[in-house]
Structure 1
Amino acid sequence: MHLKLLSGNIDHMSSTHDMFRRFDAKPLGKKAFSVAFMLKAPYFATVRPQVQVMEPHHGVVKIRKRRGVQNHIGTVHAIAVANGMEAAMGLLCEATTPKGMRWIPKGIALDYSAKVTTDVRCEARTEPADWEKEPPFQVDVRCTAFIDDGTEVVSGIIPVWVTAKS
């Protein structure tokens, strides 16, 4: 199974986004896509992101609270949440980056406002105007994480550098 993550797309739809749409229409499709996503970007397997949304300007993954992502006080580790936010950002970028362009994250700036005591939903968002620039340009992807009761626990920005493919 081929999963193309770090490339542009066709009319704002990458092969990754096209694959997500095909999988999403099938039973257990999101689960199968989540596994394929981790195979292409193996580091994400550390948090096992469950892909929930992949569409232009919006990406969402869920990170289950399990022993492998907990810290010494039994909450989800801050870096595990950051990894989930980066996964959500990657989904958004794959579904949004214009044809003939590519993207790469430039950093991450997050504020942790509460303990992550449950599973966590990591969301990434942009607006269409964020992408309507001449390359190269930066898009500041807004990221937010929520625990099961809806409490916002982490927020921040992942700046993404968008350039023309060479």
Structure 2
Amino acid sequence: MTSTYGLYRKLADRPLGKQAFGLGYMLKAPYFATVRPKVIEMGPNRGVVQIRKRRAVQNHIGTVHAIAVANGLEAAMGLLCEATTPRGMRWLPKGIQLEYVAKTPSDVRCIAETDAADWDKEPPFQVDVRCSATLPDGTEVVRGVIPVWVTASKPAG
């Protein structure tokens, strides 16, 4: 378990704990602050954030911009990887492959998932993190994969 996941577990059930964790997450990875992801769930093989529709993430037609949704999916993937990467290993996204299948006219939930078997390998290896973004009614608006490269951590020194 990484220190990030340990902190999430300490804070998640406390009043305003997830909000405090989410703020810290944005400070650690400042680019995520552009979409203000609300952390919904962090755990092994699953990360979920919510992106609120607001002017700063809208495109010219008034829907949530596709790249804002992609940023939310990357934030969800990061939560999953922090909670899942085995001790002594580290992760790095290699790219992003997404299909934009529908407009995003409202808030959107960004979900990243893997299976436990995806991580049961000797490093280095690749994990293909499955991603999906859905509207409150369950309509899928974006789906894809974020390939993550997993290697042994370098010794301190």
Shorter-chain TM-score tier: over 0.9
Instruction: Name the counterpart of 1:4.
Output: none
Select which of 22, 30, 33 maps to 2:21: 33
Matches of 2:114 and 2:19 in 1, distance apart? 25
Name the structure 1 match of 2:146: 158
- Quote how far apart the aligned CAs of 1:34 are: 0.6
Q: Does 1:77 align with 2:41?
A: no
* Structure 1 residue ranges without an equivalent (≥5): 1-12
Query: Which runs of 5 or more structure 2 residues have no equivalent in the other structure?
Result: none
Query: Please, what is the CA RMSD of the aligned residues?
Result: 0.5
Residue type at the aligned position of 2:82: E
- Deviation track 1:15-72 (CA, whole Å, cap 9, x = no partner) reads 0001011111201111111100000000000000000100000000000000000000
TM-score normalised by the chain length of structure 2? 0.97
Match of 1:130 in 2: 118
Q: Return the match for 2:88 from 96, 100, 125.
A: 100
Runs of 4+ aligned structure 1 residues displaced above 4 Å come to: none
Shift of residue 152 of structure 1?
0.5
Which position in structure 1 is the counterpart of 2:78?
A: 90
Identity across matched positions, percent: 71
Amino acid of the structure 2 residue aligned with 1:144: S
2:37 equivalent among 45, 49, 60: 49
What secondary structure, in the 3-state scheme, does the structure 1 residue paired with 2:14 have?
Answer: coil
1:113-166 per-position Cα deviation (integer Å, ceiling 9, x unaligned): 000011000000000110011110000000000011110100000000000012
Q: Using the alignment, how far apart are the partners of 2:123 and 2:89 within structure 1?
A: 8
Aligned residues: 154
